[in-house]
């Protein structure tokens, strides 16, 4: 195989810049898969990086070829470049360079932007410059762009639906442990089955998966899913039950929950006196009492009165400070709704049993999301260089050959390196700054967004994994926070006349 010397420099430059682009995608977009797991304290950053390295690369190799075909010859019409192959090659170099600069800048600014938008926009740009509007496949581009608006809504709705079901059947149960353990085999089996179906359904030509008949795909998918369910039921469920019960027993000896002690208060001279307020009433000082660790987060809301959760606000919107807070030289002005949202955010917590149960599930779904991300977003980096390589090798713009596996692996390596070196910036934004993430809500976010991305990857649409994950985070975060906020504000506030007189609350 001989590559013409006047084309060789474009191939070399394209591969170098594509690796940097893959690095940027790893630093920015891989946070979509593991940001919520790190935010929920289920995984450390190091553990997330190790898992992402393995499954991003596997996803790229097993699923990435279909989307890379769309990037390299699905958006633009390559036939006008017959006889001017170097123009198409130079356009691919330009598109990967523009995407690279933007993604690295966004990562530096800690913005979770879309690598898909970047590469599609760059490809569209050079096609318009080279051949005008006739060089673009507008119907395919329309499908891709519409998916950018539909995918976050779909992902958010799927995640919210799963969250509502889990809240109803598991989280709100009197003993959330047993219902959660019953659903555990279903969660694991369905997650594994969906992954396998996405791999084998019209899978990689180079691996021979495309030759498996449809009934064979279903047999493999459901067969392995049933085996996983049985294994989880007979092995993992007893182990989890024992571990969670032991863990809860240890916590009973050490756990102290911080709720104002209703039986203690201080007078003006600083002498501690007894209060007649019942359990859960508002203590005027900052003393705390001990709470049984078995009490769930929902029960905590019922134990503490509304007054202990609300901050009095005067007519101008300024908080009434306690004596201790007068020492501060600065005071903040908060609206009533802002105060309540802050309180609701802090109350979004899972019970200790739920944390243990969903921690394992969230790791599984984070791996699921990483696999799906590798299959979709690696193509954003390597799509243009696949075109460069095949055009230079075959000297034809038609690019009839399939995507080489070694180029997919090359892109996976770049993504993994980017995550290890620079990924923690956006992981913090995705996992901590958007909303409060708990293991139960994190599980719903991961599985909803990963399902959406996998469906898109299997039909060859380069959707934005960032949009899917942010949509799920916002939808589920809003739902969980609003439920807590509604519970807080639904308490009877009629006895607190300063509140009733000085503020108006809207839910």
Q: How far is CA 320 from CA 229, 315, 323, 497, in A?
A: 55, 11, 10, 15
Q: Which residues of 347-361 are buried (b: 16+ CB within 10 A; e: fewer)?
A: bbbbbbbbbbbbbbb
- Asked if the model's pLDDT at residue 499 lies above 80, the reply is no
- Contact between 364 and 442 under an 8 Å Cβ cutoff? The reply is no
DSSP at 236: I
The residue whose two tokens read 């673009």 is 136
For residue 260, the SS3 value is: strand
Give the Cβ contact number of residue 272 at 10 Å.
10
Q: Inform me whether the pLDDT recorded for 331 exceeds 60.
A: no
pLDDT at residue 279 tops 50: no
Residue 472, both tokens = 């799920």
Which residues have CB under 8 Å from 14's CB, separation 6+? Answer: 89, 92, 93, 96, 384, 385, 388
The pLDDT value given to residue 31: 65
Q: What is the mean pLDDT of the chain?
A: 73
Which tokens belong to 56?
Answer: 């991003």
- Residue 507 CB neighbour total at 10 angstroms: 10
Q: What is the pLDDT of residue 15?
A: 94
Mean pLDDT of 14-36: 80
pLDDT classification of 90: cutoffs 50, 70, 90: very high
Task: State residue 194's pLDDT score.
Answer: 83
Q: Find the mean pLDDT for residues 79-104.
A: 88
CB 430 within 8 A of CB 28: no
Residues in a beta bridge with 288: 260
Does the pTM surpass 0.85? The reply is: no
Write out the H or E segment, with its range, that includes residue 285.
none
How many helical (H) and strand (E) elements, i.e. helices and strands, does the chain have?
A: 17, 4
Per-residue pLDDT, averaged over 48-64, amounts to 86
Give the other-Cβ count within 10 Å of 254's Cβ: 7
pLDDT for 112 equals 64
| Alpha helix (H) residue ranges in 201-236 | 214-231
Q: Give the span between the Cα atoms of 316 and 305, in whole angstroms.
A: 25
Q: Which pLDDT score, from 0 to 100, does residue 36 have? A: 65
Reply yes or no on whether the pLDDT at 306 is more than 60. no
CA distance 187 to 232: 10
The whole-angstrom separation of Cα 73 and Cα 402 is 12
Confidence band for 266, pLDDT divided at 50, 70 and 90: very low
Q: Give pLDDT, residue 229.
A: 95
3-state helix, strand, coil in the chain (%, to 5): 70, 5, 25
Sign of CA dihedral 464, 470, 476, 478: negative
Which residue would you say has higher pLDDT here, 335 or 242? 242
Whole-number pLDDT of residue 447:
83
317 compared with 201, residue with greater pLDDT: 201
Residues 180-195: pLDDT tens digits? 888 889 988 988 888 8
Mean pLDDT in residue range 58-87: 84
φ/ψ of 33, rounded to 5, equals: -80, -40
For residue 89, the model assigns a pLDDT of: 92
**pLDDT at residue number 482:** 53
What tokens were used for 129? 């410059």
Give mean pLDDT, residues 227-249: 86
pLDDT band at 224 (very low <50, low <70, confident <90, very high): very high
């Amino acid at each position: 195989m001989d590559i013409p010397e006047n084309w060789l420099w474009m191939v070399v430059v394209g591969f170098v810049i594509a690796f940097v682009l893959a690095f940027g995608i790893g630093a920015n977009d891989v946070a979509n898969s593991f940001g919520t797991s790190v935010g929920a304290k289920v995984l450390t950053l190091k553990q997330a990086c190790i898992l992402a390295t393995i499954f991003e690369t596997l996803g790229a190799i097993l699923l990435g070829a279909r989307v890379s075909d769309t990037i390299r010859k699905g958006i633009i019409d390559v036939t006008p470049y017959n006889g001017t192959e170097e123009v198409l090659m130079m356009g691919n170099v330009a598109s990967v360079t523009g995407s690279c600069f933007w993604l690295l800048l966004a990562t530096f600014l800690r913005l979770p932007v879309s690598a898909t938008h970047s590469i599609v926009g760059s490809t569209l740009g050079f096609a318009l410059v080279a051949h005008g509007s006739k060089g673009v496949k507008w119907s395919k581009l329309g499908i891709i762009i519409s998916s950018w608006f539909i995918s976050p809504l779909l992902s958010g709705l799927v995640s919210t639906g799963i969250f509502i079901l889990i809240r109803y059947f598991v989280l709100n149960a009197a003993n959330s442990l047993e219902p959660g353990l019953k659903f555990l085999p279903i969660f694991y089996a369905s997650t594994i089955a969906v992954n396998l179906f996405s791999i084998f359904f019209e899978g990689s030509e180079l691996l021979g998966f495309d030759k498996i008949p449809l009934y064979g795909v279903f047999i493999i998918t459901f067969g392995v899913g049933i085996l996983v369910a049985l294994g989880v039921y007979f092995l993992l469920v007893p182990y989890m039950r024992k571990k969670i019960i032991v863990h809860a027993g240890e916590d009973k000896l050490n756990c102290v929950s911080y709720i104002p002690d209703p039986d203690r208060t201080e007078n003006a001279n600083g002498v501690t006196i007894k209060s007649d307020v019942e359990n859960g009433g508002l203590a005027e000082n900052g003393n705390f009492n001990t709470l049984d660790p078995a009490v769930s987060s929902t029960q905590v809301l019922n134990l503490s009165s509304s007054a202990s959760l609300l901050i009095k606000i005067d007519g101008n919107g300024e908080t009434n400070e306690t004596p201790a807070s007068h020492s501060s030289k600065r005071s903040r002005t908060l609206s009533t709704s802002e105060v309540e949202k802050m309180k609701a955010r802090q109350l979004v917590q899972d019970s200790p049993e739920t944390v243990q149960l969903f921690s394992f599930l969230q790791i599984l779904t984070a791996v699921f999301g990483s696999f799906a991300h590798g299959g979709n977003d690696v193509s954003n980096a390597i799509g243009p260089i696949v075109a460069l390589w095949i055009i230079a090798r075959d000297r034809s713009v038609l690019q009839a050959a399939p995507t080489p596996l070694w180029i997919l692996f090359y892109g996976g390596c770049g993504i993994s390196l980017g995550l290890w070196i620079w990924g923690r910036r956006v992981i913090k934004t995705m996992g901590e700054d958007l909303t409060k993430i708990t293991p139960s809500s994190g599980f719903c976010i991961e599985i909803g967004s990963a399902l959406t991305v996998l469906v898109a990857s299997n039909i060859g649409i380069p959707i934005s994994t960032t949009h899917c994950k942010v949509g799920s985070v916002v939808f589920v975060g809003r739902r969980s926070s609003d439920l807590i906020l509604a519970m807080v504000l639904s308490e009877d506030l009629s006895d607190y006349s300063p509140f009733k007189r000085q503020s108006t609350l809207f839910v």
